[in-house]
Amino acid sequence: MNFKKYTQIMMSILLLFAIIIIVLGIAVWSKNVYTGIIYLVIAGIQFFGIVFLYPRIGRIDDLHEMGNRSVPHNWVVLSVAIAGAALFLAPFFRPDSMTIPFIAFVLCILQVIVSALNILFAVKKVKARMIV
Amino acid sequence: MSNGEKKEAWPWKDEYGDYSLVPVPQEELRSFTSIFYVFMGVLACIAVLWGGATLGLQFTLKEALWVAVIGSLILCVIGGFTSVIGGVSRCSTYVNMRYPFGMIGSQLFGTIIAGIACGIGWFAVQTWLFGIILHTLFPEAPWANVGVAAIWGGILMMTTAIIGFKGLAWLSYLAVPFFILIAGVGVMIGVAGAGGFAGLAQLKPQTPTTFGIGVTQVVGMYIAGGVITADIARYARKAVGGALAWIIQIIVFQVYMLMGAVALTLATGAANVAQALLVGGAGIGAFLMAILGQWTTNDNNLYNGALSFNTWAHIKKRNITIIEGLIGTAIAAYVGFKAGVSMDPFMKFLTLLGKILPAIGGVLIADFYIYRWYKKITFKERYKAKPGMKISLFNWVGWLAMILGTVIGGWLVKWGIAALNALVFAAVIYIVLAIIFDAVGVKIELGEHTINEKGV
């Protein structure tokens, strides 16, 4: 698959996950405001980290440069997703039911996997720099 | 590079790895983001949160904010100056020290402040602390026994330092956003515990102290990092890029993380941030904070130590990192297994070694910005090493200024901030003596050494 297309599809999947976590954050806000805040902060950072990548890779055709631009955005999603996975199940952020935290946790784990694969793919396929 | 520009050939040979003795070449320079992340990786450590916790025991929320801001501003200035030196020379602090201290001075003082103190000493202390924190979090787990945790923690922390700058950056990319979030969690737990921001602002500290002592604590906590910023800033694409990265991370994120710990401590009364987070309900976040916080800081300790050892131990930097890492881990594990043994005497010794660091920074800043300007050396040409260039073996004014600055500023003067006093006294003594002796024709640089293409 074309690298540009691959990146856009994968980033769209990550964006979808981030939007779901935002919705979950809004849903839990009334039960525990701190839980709502942490969900919105984590997903918000991911959302903007992903959204800003679209125009950055849309304008260029050089695949190597595209990879270089994609890597730091995926690092942001990856590291914030690790934080989300660690914090969403924490007792301080638990609302009454464990369903929402568990869904958010699973989404974060998926984000960790997808963004790590994206970085690996960019480094292997288009020789992007892992550290920019 | 534009078509009209001709790329200058890099005349060096990086024999020992990670450009430990030679300038970083153009194609290896890194973005502002990378430099910022690596700096943040050093800052994102439990020591900063513990520093904040100490402030939380001594000041109200508003007072602590002012203490953190003023202390951080002082660190901005010091680290900003030293970062630009690295950005211009593209060399590590210990190679830069060849100019104001001579070849022998750079090897000796570099080894004392970074090799022994950071690379072995503080690495051992932090690895031991890592064991202590894990044991506090999981007292029943065999893998969290202080000695056992020190062994696997020490090995873990060695891995990224062995890779070099890329390893530090890679880990920082992972850990820094997490640490920023966990400091925010500290604020939330603090605010929730105090029943809102208004309640938190009303809380009184347990052991109030003076504003000056607080600022001294903030500056003293990180002045070592401020003096050796060139080790990282030398990789910045623009000379001022490293300084900018340093300033932002200090004034924005250090203040933010300190305040996170202040809020947590004011609300819970506990100075042990990891435990307070665990008790407060941060769950696995407290555990990850312990691991990532110590790791991102301790790999930098090893990295800086190996750079300084490389000035006289001419073997691959990777091998030096492994040797010093194993020594540090062995010390930490030994202390960890000997239940009840304290590291206090060892830490006092390391603190003593660290006392000369601000004075070294003062001499370095004075030499680069004032003495080289007085000698009419253009800014971009200062500390520009070239193969075949001659360098002195011994700059006696640099040595004298460093010793006098340390003694006067660090011990004799009883007012102000000791570390800052030492830095300023050393800088003033150096510049006054160097210019006077220069004017009367007395040589301040003795002996001669020719730098070869390996930077030796």
Mode of pairing for the β-strands spanning B445-446 and B449-450: unpaired
List CB contacts (< 8 A) between A75 and chain B: 173-174
Q: What rounded mean pLDDT belongs to chain B?
A: 87
Q: Given this model, what pLDDT does residue B105 score?
A: 92
Given a cut of 50, whether residue A105 has pLDDT beyond it is yes
CB contact under 8 A, A75 and B174: yes
Top mean pLDDT of A41-50, B276-285, B288-297 is at A41-50
Nearest Cβ partner of A132 from B30, B184, B188?
A: B30
Contact B310, B317 (CB under 8 A): yes
Contact B192 A34 (CB under 8 A): yes
CA angle B238, B243, B249 (to 5 degrees): 125
Closest partner CB to B34 (pick from A45, A76, A132): A132
**A90 → closest Cβ in B34, B177, B282:** B282
Give the pLDDT mean for B115-141. Answer: 86
- ipTM of this complex prediction, to 2 decimal places: 0.85
Region of poorest pLDDT, from A105-119, B196-210, B435-449: B196-210
Distances (CA, A) of B170 to A10, A118, B72, B261: 22, 15, 26, 26
Return the bridge partners of B450, or none: B390
What's the gap in Å between the CA of A5 and the closest CA on chain B?
Answer: 25
Bridge partner residues of B394 (DSSP): B446
Q: From the candidates A46, A70, A79, A105, which should be mutated to test the interface with B, based on the most B CB atoms within 10 A?
A: A79
Which candidate in B18, B137, B181 is best for mutational testing of the A interface (most A CBs within 10 A)?
B181
Q: Look at B95-99, B133-137, B249-253, B321-325 and tell me which has the smallest mean pLDDT.
A: B133-137
Q: Is B428 on the interface with A (CB under 8 A)?
A: no
Confidence label for B121 from pLDDT (cuts 50, 70 and 90): confident
**pLDDT beyond 80 at A59:** no
- Say if residue B416's pLDDT is above 90: no
Confidence of residue B270 (pLDDT cuts 50, 70, 90): confident
d(CA B98, CA B100): 6
- The yes-or-no verdict on residue B66 having pLDDT over 90 is yes
DSSP string covering A18-65, please? HHHHHHHHHHHHTT-HHHHHHHHHHHHHHHHHHHTHHHHHHT---HHH
CB atoms within 10 A of CB B241: 23
The closest of B406, B384, B312, B316 to B96, measured between CA atoms, is B384
The partner residues of B449 in beta bridges, in order of sequence, read B391
Residues 350-409 of B with CB under 8 A from A: none
pLDDT greater than 80 at residue A126: yes
pLDDT bracket for residue B341 (50, 70, 90): low
Q: Please report, rounded to a whole number, the percentage of residues in chain B having pLDDT higher than 90.
A: 39
Closest CA to B76 of B180, B191, B188, B225: B225
B5: confidence class by pLDDT, cuts 50, 70, 90? very low
Which of B354, B68, B78, B73 shows the shortest CA–CA distance to B214?
A: B68
Nearest to B188 among A37, A82, A91 (CB): A37
- Whether B240 has a pLDDT exceeding 70, the answer reads yes
Confidence bin at B343 (pLDDT 50/70/90):
low
What pLDDT is attached to residue B292? 85
Kindly give the interhelix angle for B123-137 and B46-58, rounded to the nearest 10 degrees: 70
Q: Calculate mean pLDDT across residues B220-242.
A: 88
Q: Give chain B's domains with CATH numbers.
A: 24-362 (1.10.4160.10)
Report the residue from B185, B283, B288 with minimal CB separation from A89. B283
The predicted model gives B66-82 an average pLDDT of: 93
Rounded-to-integer distance, Cα B114 and Cα B225, Å: 10
Average pLDDT over residues B24-40: 88
- What would the mean pLDDT of B168-176 be, rounded to a whole number? 84
Q: Tens digits of per-residue pLDDT, A70-85? A: 898 899 899 999 999 9
The conformation of residue A126, written as its DSSP 8-state character, comes to S
pLDDT value at residue A15: 94
pLDDT band for position B339 (50/70/90)? low
Inter-chain CB proximity B284 and A42 less than 8 Å: no
Which residues in B lie closer than 8 A to residue A82 (C-beta atoms)?
A: 174, 178, 288
The model's confidence at residue B3, banded by pLDDT at 50, 70 and 90, is very low
Q: How confident is the model at residue B150 (pLDDT cuts 50, 70, 90)?
A: very high
Mean pLDDT across A97-110: 93
pLDDT category, B221, cuts 50, 70, 90? confident
Read off the pLDDT band of B4 (50, 70, 90).
Answer: very low
Mean pLDDT comparison of B219-223, B226-230, B261-265, highest-scoring range: B226-230
CA pair distance B110, B419, nearest whole angstrom: 18
Residues contacting B15, CB < 8 A, separation 6+: B21, B314, B454, B455
Strand partners, B203: none
Provide the token pair at B134. Answer: 């894990």
Range in A104-118, B42-56, B381-395 the model is least confident about: B42-56
- Reported in sequence order, the residue ranges of B288-441 that DSSP labels E, i.e. its strands, are 390-391, 394-395
Q: Is the pLDDT of residue B103 over 90?
A: yes
Instruction: Using an 8 Å CB-CB cutoff, list chain B residues near A72.
Output: 33, 173
Question: In this structure, what DSSP letter does residue B445 have?
Answer: E
